Amino acid sequence: MSPIPNACVFLLLCLSLAVRGQTGSPIFPAERHGELRQEVVYQPPEVPETVAQSEPTGPLLDFGAFRWPLIVGVSVLLLIGLAVLLHRIQKDLGSTRSGKSSSETAAGPVSVSEVREEELVSRGISPQLLQRAEAAAQYDLAVRLLYLDLLNRLQLAQLIGYRPHFSNRDYRAQLDGHPLSEEFAQAVRTYERYWYGKHRIDRLSYRVAHGVFTNLQARIP
What is residue 77's predicted lDDT score, i.e. its pLDDT? 87
Q: Count other C-beta atoms under 10 Å from residue 27's C-beta.
A: 5
**Angle (nearest 5°) at CA 138 between 134 and 139:** 75
What is residue 105's predicted lDDT score, i.e. its pLDDT? 46
What is residue 50's predicted lDDT score, i.e. its pLDDT? 56
Local mean pLDDT, 10-residue blocks, the chain (221 residues)? 56 56 52 60 60 55 66 85 86 65 63 90 92 95 96 95 94 95 96 89 95 95 87
Helix (H), strand (E) counts: the chain:
9, 0
For residues 17 and 14, give the distance between their C-alpha atoms in angstroms, rounded to a whole number.
5
DSSP for 11-47, written as a single string: HHHHHHHHHHHHH--SSS-HHHHHHHHHH----PPPP
The contacts of residue 159 (CB under 8 Å, 6+ apart) are 174, 175, 178, 180, 220
Q: Count other C-beta atoms under 10 Å from residue 122's C-beta.
A: 13
Q: Which amino acid is at 71?
A: I
Q: Count other C-beta atoms under 10 Å from residue 28's C-beta.
A: 9
What is residue 75's predicted lDDT score, i.e. its pLDDT? 85
Task: Give the closest residue to 124 by CA, choosing from 143, 151, 158, 157.
Answer: 151
For residues 153 and 218, give the distance between their C-alpha atoms in angstroms, rounded to a whole number.
10
Half-sphere exposure in the Cβ direction for 34 (13 Å, CA): 6
CA distances (Å), origin 92, targets 78, 83, 96: 21, 14, 6
